[in-house]
Structure 1
Amino acid sequence: MTTATFKYIDQSTYQGKPWSKVDGPGTSFALKDHQRTVTSLRGQEDQFSTENSGFAVYNHPANEKRFAEDSAIRNGYYAEVESMLRSRLPGKVKKVVIFDHTIRRRDKNSPRQPVQQVHVDQTPGAAVTRVRRHLPEEEAEELLKGRYAIINVWRPIENPATDFPLAVVDWRSTFPSDFIAVDLLYPSRSDAYKDDDDRGKEKLPDENTLQSKEGYEAKGETFAVAPREGHRFYYVKDMRPEEVMLLKCFDSAGEGERLGKKGLAVRTPHTAFVDPQTPESAPGRQSIEVRCLVFYE
């Protein structure tokens, strides 16, 4: 257990609905630092699941090791992820649709830095949009009648994630009022019908345009998280490449949702953070996060 700084949205710094840009820094709001205790999951992994806390950790080595070739990831690792989800997730999985992935290799000159803000990748509305976007219309509408979820599969690459580790918040320590919908802005362009997903295409920041929405349009929605003293943070200290963490972003059967079941986790706030125990010699964090639509029987 250690104490670390976590960055939450500062609700006093924006007016109207807040927004952020998908392709790099640029938001209508500021972040505020809060000190919180964070506990390592080592030795107690079996007490947490995607059903009760919203996250789970497994020892599950991948055949892919370097994640250097996009084709190898899509043609090989995606299949590994689907197989792992089918075997590890509670309940009977009917269908898995992997819709994107992001690789981050921490280098001060890289636009793809670990995200230091407590957040959730999708709101319920954004989850519905994802289903309709990645599946044929008739199939999507049928699947939306049942239970569906968005699960992110996160793992370190090449070396342990000692530098800028990933922290998660136990869903059971959150309240619905903690979650603040944020418009996700995408670059406006005429060829959007060919390629309208800018995740993983981050640009180095331009100080002159950070606060401007010019050239952007709202096409997604995420949750920022308001600070709360009672949030319980966890991480896997020195998480290894053979380990994976499953992060639930949304579950239509979660408590309070349309098919809601009491006690079933809806979502998992998460963030990168600076572990004060990290040695200066630790290599920069490298990680891959695969985002998946999961449909249940």
Structure 2
Amino acid sequence: MSITLDRPIADRTVTAVLNYLAPVQGRPRTYTYGPPAGEPRSTALPEPHAVTIHDARKAGEQFSLDRQGFAWLEAPTAIVDFGDEAAIRETYYPESAEIIRRATGADRVFIFDHTVRRRVTGAEDRGGGPRQPATRIHVDQTERSGPQRVRDLLPEEAEALLQGRVQVVNLWRPIRGPVLDSPLAFADARYFPFEDYVPTDLVYPDRVGEIYSVRYNPAHRWYYVPEMRREEALLIKCYDSATDGRARFVAHTAFENPAAPKDAPPRESIEIRSLVFHAPRA
């Protein structure tokens, strides 16, 4: 379920540039570390397009993970310091798992990692400093990599768990708010043809993951939540094994907000990644 506001607010729909995937020969690939000699860091080059990003607070509809593939909630947190790794794992993980469980009706939620992002002007993501907002449209998992994450992380249980419905759901929260700088845009899954997703290799030192990059299509419909607060959380579906017409993947990206004041504080956020399991139903 999403937040329902009981006060009139201005429509803060914007036109902004999002980075789609430029045409590429062969399979796109990005190294998460310094590439081998003679190799480019990435062959997944950006193709910018100006698009309308609708104000989700003014959309006049309820958003859900199964319909649009995303939702945002009132979700206060007990965490005071998101620089405290122990508190994140000991308190925020179970707190987030319960939020995801309630939103999905899952039998089990397994949180497998998190990323704290603090924007530094001019810094490159994975450049050795704080992780930066991701500025290319992507989906964290694919038709292949979603189930593979279960096998990688829970090998002894994987085949049994994969008999039921499996989802990968991210929970995104501002560390401080309201977020004015580099907010998150997310696409309504109902307006996203599957052929617009492009499997892309994400090369780590010890493994090769797979994400979706995204081809441009004017039919895509984009949203954001203006001025998200620390007490709000955004849920994004990155994979769903169900093939019965529910949303399965949601493309998303940070974007430069043209409505942000020049002195807007740099965005700080945390994202939790989880495997969500539903037992097989008789």
Q: Please give the TM-score of this superposition, normalised by the length of structure 1.
A: 0.83
Amino acid at match of 1:285: R
Q: Please, which of 220, 236, 242 is the counterpart of residue 247 of structure 1?
A: 236
2:27 matched to 1:17? Answer: yes
Taking the TM superposition and a 5 Å limit, the aligned residue runs for 1:71-150 are: 71-89=86-104, 92-108=105-121, 109=123, 110-137=129-156, 139-150=157-168
8 Å contact kept, 1:160–1:285: no
Q: Please, which of 256, 259, 266 is the counterpart of residue 248 of structure 2?
A: 266
Amino acid at match of 2:14: T
Counterpart secondary structure, 2:57: coil
Root-mean-square deviation over aligned CA pairs: 1.6
Paired with 2:69 and 2:41, the residues of 1 have a C-alpha distance of: 29
Moved over 4 A (4+): 43-46
Deviation for aligned residue 1:173:
0.7
8 Å contact kept, 2:108–2:276: yes
Q: Deviations over 1:86-108 (max 9, x none)?
A: 2222xx31111111100001113
Q: Please, which of 78, 87, 112 is the counterpart of residue 63 of structure 1?
A: 78
2:178 alignment counterpart: 160
> Is the alpha carbon distance of 1:42 and 1:80 closer, same or farther for their aligned partners in structure 2, counting shifts above 3 Å?
same
Paired with 1:88 and 1:98, the residues of 2 have a C-alpha distance of: 15
8 Å contact kept, 1:45–1:56: no
Unaligned runs of 5+ in 1: 189-217, 254-259
8 Å contact kept, 1:157–1:241: yes
Paired with 2:254 and 2:27, the residues of 1 have a C-alpha distance of: 24
1:5 alignment counterpart: 17
Paired with 2:137 and 2:75, the residues of 1 have a C-alpha distance of: 26
Higher relative contact order structure (alpha carbons within 8 Å, sequence separation ≥ 6): 1
8 Å contact kept, 2:118–2:130: no
8 Å contact kept, 1:10–1:29: yes
Deviation for aligned residue 1:23:
4.5
Paired with 1:3 and 1:65, the residues of 2 have a C-alpha distance of: 34
Counterpart secondary structure, 2:107: strand
Paired with 1:265 and 1:282, the residues of 2 have a C-alpha distance of: 34
Deviation for aligned residue 1:22:
2.9
Amino acid at match of 2:79: E
Amino acid at match of 1:240: R
Unaligned runs of 5+ in 2: 1-12, 35-39, 124-128
1:278 alignment counterpart: 260
2:42 alignment counterpart: 27
8 Å contact kept, 2:119–2:130: no
2:4 alignment counterpart: none
Question: Between Structure 1 and Structure 2, how many residues are aligned?
Answer: 256
Paired with 1:187 and 1:156, the residues of 2 have a C-alpha distance of: 30
Paired with 2:264 and 2:219, the residues of 1 have a C-alpha distance of: 31
Q: Deviations over 1:224-282 (max 9, x none)?
A: 000000110100001111100000000001xxxxxx212x1011000000110000111
Give identity over the alignment, percent. 43
Counterpart secondary structure, 2:98: helix
2:277 alignment counterpart: 295
Paired with 1:93 and 1:46, the residues of 2 have a C-alpha distance of: 24
8 Å contact kept, 1:65–1:157: no
Deviation for aligned residue 1:65:
3.0
Most deviating of 38-47 and 221-230: 38-47
Q: Please, which of 210, 213, 226 is the counterpart of residue 224 of structure 1?
A: 213
> Is the alpha carbon distance of 1:68 and 1:78 closer, same or farther for their aligned partners in structure 2, counting shifts above 3 Å?
same
> Is the alpha carbon distance of 1:23 and 1:107 closer, same or farther for their aligned partners in structure 2, counting shifts above 3 Å?
same
Paired with 2:73 and 2:209, the residues of 1 have a C-alpha distance of: 30
Q: Please give the TM-score of this superposition, normalised by the length of structure 2.
A: 0.87
Deviation for aligned residue 1:29:
2.7
